[in-house]
Amino acid sequence: FAQLGAESEWRVANTKSIKETADQLGVELRFLDAQQKQDKQIEAVRKLIIQKVDVIGISPIVETGWEEVFREAKAAGIPIILSDRRAAVPEDLYATYLGSDFLEEGRNAGRVLAKLVNGEAKIVELVGTVGSAPANDRFKGFREIIKNYPGMKIIDSESGDFTRARGKEVMDTFLKQYGKTITAVYAHNDDMALGAIQAIENYGLKPGVDIKIVSIDASHGAFEAMIAGKLNATVECNPLLGPQFFDLALKVVNGDIVPKWVPSREGIFYPDNAAEILPGRKY
């Protein structure tokens, strides 16, 4: 499995799910972490090809730039399963894609925010890793909804690379530049929202009250922030892909027919019942 990194709570839960499931099934897993660098991830795939593994799972850091190495895997007779993130390659270069509907997540974030602010907001957006499938789609899906609300304006949009540290830095800059003009934050993941919450508090405003915040993932940290009244909603993106991944991997290796896209099941969560739900959450 060529994992892309360990940038967020989501990713840590995703990695844990994959490793735990392999253990439970007694599958021999070679796990490589590319530390958020595409060249490292390409190198990881090449290593796995040389090791003659039966099947390669990968969460491509960005959408483009995969054709060459995927062709090498194909030539070696090793099927590729895209897990979590898509790659922009011809369909014959991968067996299946297991992951979320990022476009719908972006739309849901837009719908939720529109309701929260009654169609009136000056929004800053914290974008995920530039060129990644979730950042591309969450950007697009959100705009599809927002364009129907003339009172909702995106005043700035900047990448925080899906990390808490960058989310805070970008929000610091936004606050310096626009100050109290900002009434809402849309963060492509919870970690960046948590960073933004810190920045807003340091600036002397109340996150969740003075500035409404909606993000994506539904991680533990997001639930805690909702319980503290600092985050207004989180749209679920499920990282616990291990069981479905190995189920697909086995089918692919056995030559069974699998769908080209296997979507994961997801919801939306709000502060009202966050404390009740949190204990039952696995990430």
Residues contributing to the site for ligand GYE (CB under 6 A): 7-8, 10-11, 84-85, 134, 162, 189, 191, 216-217, 237
For 155: left if phi > 0, alpha if psi spans -120 to 50, otherwise beta; the answer is alpha
Question: Which parts of the chain fold into alpha helices (H)?
Answer: 9-25, 38-50, 67-75, 102-116, 133-146, 164-178, 190-203, 220-227, 242-253, 274-277
What's the closest the beta carbon of residue 203 comes to ligand GYE, in angstroms? 24
Shorter beta-carbon distance to ligand GYE: residue 21 or 132: 132
Strands 261-263 and 96-99: parallel
What's the closest the beta carbon of residue 97 comes to ligand GYE, in angstroms? 12
What's the closest the beta carbon of residue 111 comes to ligand GYE, in angstroms? 18
Shorter beta-carbon distance to ligand GYE: residue 96 or 189: 189
What's the closest the beta carbon of residue 151 comes to ligand GYE, in angstroms? 28
What's the closest the beta carbon of residue 189 comes to ligand GYE, in angstroms? 3
Cβ neighbours for 80, distance < 8 A, ≥ 6 positions apart: 55, 56, 57, 58, 70, 73, 74, 93, 94, 95
What's the closest the beta carbon of residue 233 comes to ligand GYE, in angstroms? 15
DSSP 221-269: HHHHHHHTT---EEEE-----HHHHHHHHHHHHTT----SEEEPP--EE
What's the closest the beta carbon of residue 91 comes to ligand GYE, in angstroms? 20
Q: Determine the 3-state secondary structure of 217 from DSSP.
A: strand
Shorter beta-carbon distance to ligand GYE: residue 85 or 166: 85
Shorter beta-carbon distance to ligand GYE: residue 8 or 108: 8
DSSP 111-133: HHHHHHTTT-EEEEEEE-STT-H
Shorter beta-carbon distance to ligand GYE: residue 49 or 237: 237
Shorter beta-carbon distance to ligand GYE: residue 135 or 249: 135
What's the closest the beta carbon of residue 162 comes to ligand GYE, in angstroms? 4
Shorter beta-carbon distance to ligand GYE: residue 52 or 265: 265
Torsion of CA 104, 105, 111, 112, to 10 degrees: 160
Shorter beta-carbon distance to ligand GYE: residue 207 or 221: 221
In the 8-state DSSP scheme, what is residue 76? Answer: T
CB 107 within 8 A of CB 149: no
Spell out a b/e string for 185-208, using b for 16 or more CB atoms within 10 Å of the CB, else e: bbbbbbbbbbbbbbbbeebeeebb
